[in-house]
A and B are shown apart, each in its own frame.
Chain A
Amino acid sequence: MSVHYPALVVVMPVVAALIIAILAWVHPSRALPVAVAALAAAAGAAAMMLVRVLAHGPFAYHLGGWPPPVGIAYEIDHLNALVLAVMAAVALINLLAVWPQAEQRFAERTVFFYALYLLFCAGTFGILVTGDAFNLFVLLEITSISGYALIGLGRRDAALASLNYVFMGTIGASLYLLGIGYLYLVTGSLNMADMAAILPRIQDSRVVTAAFIICMTGLFMKMALFPLHGWLPNAYSQAAGPVCSLIAPLTTKTMIYVMVRIGLYVFSPQFTFGRLDLARAMVWLAVMAIVFGSLTALAQTNLRRMLCYVVVAEVGYMVGGFWLGTRTAMTGAILHIVNDAAMTLCVFLVVGTIGHQLKSDTFDTLRGAFRRMPWTMAVMVVAGLSLIGVPPTCGFFSKWYLLGGALAAGHWGLAGALVFSSLVNTLLFFRIFEIAYFEPVNTGNYGHAAPLRYAEAPPAMLAPMIAAAMGLIVLGLLTGEIVTRLIAPAIPAAIP
């Protein structure tokens, strides 16, 4: 059993999705336990793989027993073991938190929500474990298509937002495929390790350069890097709450992981950071993403849309840290993949819960929220502090490495943008806290203040949310362990 963990992580959600699709006709009420069991098993397998990598180092799994480069290999190393463990936990916690909402909101369509949810997770987990560049594209499409459908389940304008996302996402994925196609042309292989061995010998080739740029551009579209972020705010703000808190933590972060994987392990660091002048331009693009995302977030009057632009800024953090190309900054970027997934889960869970309990997520709805939903708002405070970057929450520590890397490299632009974004986040979150803390509730009762109606979420929704908030602090306190035992071995020695 234990040798099959890499496959189980992907196969279990897929099989469970099929079972649920069949159950839809027979026992719709059984769908939830199946989904939870499948995700719990996947998370368990991910945790076991993390333990194994920590104990014995990286290992590979050959699907169907076919050795690479012919067969598909799933390669587990420090990098993806870490990211996978967190992502699997995020998916599980989110499902545990949102199912009561989903059952109310989607009614008889809930089973399909569960099936799509599992397919989305299977695709994401697959992207994280696969060592095959084409298999990655297939899994990317599974993720994307189930993502489009999930977003389409949302509000009135969700179909339009989803269609927009389909266009942008498809272009991005196609560019990735095109890039991989070029690489296949020159290397004759689709296995990442195999490609990595061949590419240094032919890296002067223009085809390789073109493949690199096209592939990366596709990924930038999928990760919503400014100025290719247009699809994200609409898609996320139109999606239903339970969907949003799944897609927001997983999608962009997974794509950043792919960028790290391709940039470090398919192409060599020397090629990625040295051969083209791309790296410098990318850092500046990231600076623009951070500044743009932060400023645009300030202009929003809707909680969810505000957070969407915060996500756009956070993408800039990771892209900037990665393309700086130093060990410290890279550590920060990888650490931020993990931390940002947890933080995004937390804030979007809160927003989803507020939207569900108070029926709206504009700032006006938040008036008096500290009295109406004290626990939910407490989670919001922790998540907000983490996004601002206050120790001992995890957001501080990734910012520590990113900012430290930027300062050490003498990149004042990125350092300035990171500090600026922290300050703007302070403004963003304290504006919300202020509204929720000070504003008298406008009940429309002819201007007379009515007693606040307690509107806290049920414990079933609260408990996972509080666990996620605690997770932010635990992740923060574990930073030393994560960095020395997982991220340091994951960064190639060639990076100074």
Chain B
Amino acid sequence: MTPVLSVKPLLAILLALGLPAVLVSSRSANLREAWTFGAAGAMLAVIASMVPAVLGGACLEWTLVSILPGLALQLRVDAFGLLFALVSSSLWIVTTLYSIGYMRGLQEHSQTRYYCFFALSLAAAVGVAFSANLLTLYLFYEMLSFATYPLVTHHQDGEARASGRKYLAYILGASIGLVLPAMLMVHHLAGTLDFTAQGILDGHAGTSQTAALLVMLVFGFAKAGIMPLHAWLPAAMVAPTPVSALLHAVAVVKVGVFSVVRVMSGIFGADFLARLHLGTLVAVVASITIIGASLIALSQDGLKRRLAFSTIGQLSYIVLGAALLSPSGLSGAMLHIAMHAFGKITLFFCAGAIFVATGKKYISEMKGIGWAMPVTMGAFFIGALSVIGLPPCGGFISKWYLLMGTLEADRIALLFVILASSILNAAYFLPIVYQAFFCSPAESRFERRMHEAPRWCVVPPVVTALASVGLFFYPQPFLALARLATGALLGGP
């Protein structure tokens, strides 16, 4: 990779970071949302404009400020980071569209505050994607923790308060209690915090030290939702649905797994972890989370809670893929960030659309809803297929790579973990769709008459569902970026 000096990564972050200043000063709601679209579009354009250069083998760098001797706040765009930034920023536009329908449909209060913190969260998520070292990543990671708090607690009632507490206790407790000391230890041992292709700890730390640091860092990024630090995610579902959709299916939780994968590859190094057999440790933890979360999801009646537990399981696919330390596994992990994002955001959008149109939150109340909301439930079906990992949806591709990865790594047990989880995924998603359409009129809770949510709540899930299908047939540029990133980290797929 040839480093190229470029201000683009900084520009992308500043577009979202500066947005609140404009939003606070704009008086009308239409103007406010127009600005949000403008910033989101500009951000996506800037990020997309970096794709050709990165695919051409360059990595774009920008040093903000040398903050400690030998340690700078530095941005670097490589294939992996760009993949994640591309997913986040493109889905931000769709979510903004959806937010307008949802927030206006429910006449939510404090909408300006909502859009401001949404923009800050996106800036932080893209900042994490573009971080060149662990310190910069930590800075944006914490910024994201704080920026999402007012979104999670948007309703400002007792439930929101309790969830907000839980959210902060898990996220901050883990990041201050585990990541910060681990980061200092890494700096003390290796003398640097830069992410490099081979890792920086090799030769500087013993086996037990490395194992301890790995545990601290993997669990410390609690946004990844690895059990037992997952309980904040179902609690955070009290947030308005667009927040759950973008932040708790895409940006926030993916920042967690992104950080885990980044640390495993850039700080520890795949070779080093393989030599110490520490990949297995992470793989076991991730497998437990995958199966455990899927089983819990089966028993949830709240639709958003079921989606939350599904997310917890799917996040650990990504961790598992990275822990395989094999080329296809790592590619699959990176791809899954994108594919799961499109699938899961569709499901959340649909859950929100159902809530806006009918006020229903529980799956048991949704029998026959397919007749009232056919478009929404159609999108839900496609989203579910993608998350389960069936063709013709994008989720199939990432799951295919993950399965290939288990074979490459010669770990048949993990192959069965993924397959078992896929069956469980089907078991907790497909009955929802089935009951929505196939039930006798007596069982149905809805009249057989179209009653869809407002237009701006229905269009976004259709768009993301179509995108999920589209990604099956044309998984670019995500596939190319994932393969490029894997090549850089493991020396060619």
Q: Could you list which residues of chain A lie within 8 angstroms of chain B, going by C-beta atoms?
A: 385, 388-392, 397, 400, 403-404, 407-408, 415, 419, 422-423, 426, 430, 434, 437-438, 476-477, 479-480, 483-484
Q: Which residues of B contact A388 (CB under 8 A)?
A: 176
* Complex interface residues of chain B between 164 and 181 (CB less than 8 A to chain A): 164-165, 168, 172-173, 176-177, 180-181
Q: Beta-carbon contacts of B149-175 to A below 8 Å, as 1s and 0s?
A: 010010011001100110010001100
Measured in the bound complex, the distance between the Cα atoms of B169 and A426 in whole Å is 9
Given A434-B164, A434-B165, CB of A407 within 8 Å of CB of B69: no
Q: Is the CB of A403 within 8 A of B173?
A: no
Question: Are B184 and A426 in contact, with the CB atoms below 8 A?
Answer: no
The smallest beta-carbon distance between B308 and chain A, in angstroms, is 23
Report the Cα distance A184→B168, complex, angstroms: 55
For chain B, the bracket of interface size reads 20 to 34
When distances are taken between beta carbons in the complex, the residues of chain A under 8 Å from B184 are: 400, 403-404, 407
B185 contacts A407, C-beta separation under 8 Å: yes
Q: What's the dominant secondary structure at chain A's contact region?
A: helix
Question: CB distance B176 to A400 under 8 Å?
Answer: no
Q: Is the CB of B142 within 8 A of A483?
A: no
Task: Answer whether residue B65 sits at the interface, using C-beta atoms and an 8 A cutoff.
Answer: yes
C-beta contact mask, B65-88 vs A, less than 8 Å → 1, else 0?
111110101000000000000000
Q: A391-B139, A392-B73 are in contact. Are A423 and B177 (CB under 8 A)?
A: yes
CA distance A204 to B163 in the complex (A): 62
A437 / chain B contacts, CB cutoff of 8 Å: 150, 153, 156
Q: How far is the CB of A252 from chain B (nearest CB, A)?
A: 24
Taken together as a complex, chains A and B put the C-alpha atoms of A376 and B351 apart, in Å, by 39
Chain B residues within an 8 Å CB radius of A407: 181, 184-185, 188
| B373-426 interface with A by 8 A CB criterion | none
Check B185 against A483 for contact (C-beta < 8 Å). no
**Residue contact B168 to A480, C-beta cutoff 8 Å:** no
* A392-B139, A397-B68, A437-B156 given; A415·B181 CB < 8 A: yes
Looking across the interface, which residue of chain B has its beta carbon closest to that of A476?
B67
Q: Are A477 and B67 in contact (CB-based, < 8 A)?
A: yes
Q: Would A397 and B176 count as touching, CB distance under 8 A?
A: no
Tell yes or no: B135 within 8 A of A by CB.
Answer: yes
Q: Which residues of A contact B451 (CB under 8 A)?
A: none
Chain B residues with Cβ below 8 Å from A434 are 161, 164-165
Do the beta carbons of A484 and B69 come within 8 Å of each other? yes
Interface residues of B in 287-310 (CB under 8 A from A): none
Interface centre among A388, A392, A408 (most CB of B within 10 A): A392
Contact A438–B161 (Cβ < 8 Å): yes
- Chain A residues with Cβ under 8 A from B164's Cβ? 434
Residues of A within 8 A of B187 (CB): 404
Shortest CB-to-CB span from A413 to chain B, Å, is 13
Contacts of B161 in A (CB 8 A): 434, 438
CB-CB contacts of B124-165 with A at 8 A, as 1s and 0s?
000000000001001100110010001001001100110011
A426 contacts B176, C-beta separation under 8 Å: yes
Closest to B145 in A: A390
A-B residue pairs, 10 tightest by C-beta: A391-B139, A404-B184, A480-B66, A390-B142, A422-B176, A408-B188, A438-B161, A480-B67, A484-B69, A426-B172
Measured in the bound complex, the distance between the Cα atoms of B444 and A414 in whole Å is 63
- Residues of chain A within 8 A (CB-CB) of B71 are 480
CB-based contact B69/A483 at 8 Å: yes
Contact with A along B171-209 (1 / 0, CB 8 A): 011001100110011011000000000000000000000
Are A419's CB and B165's CB within 8 A? no
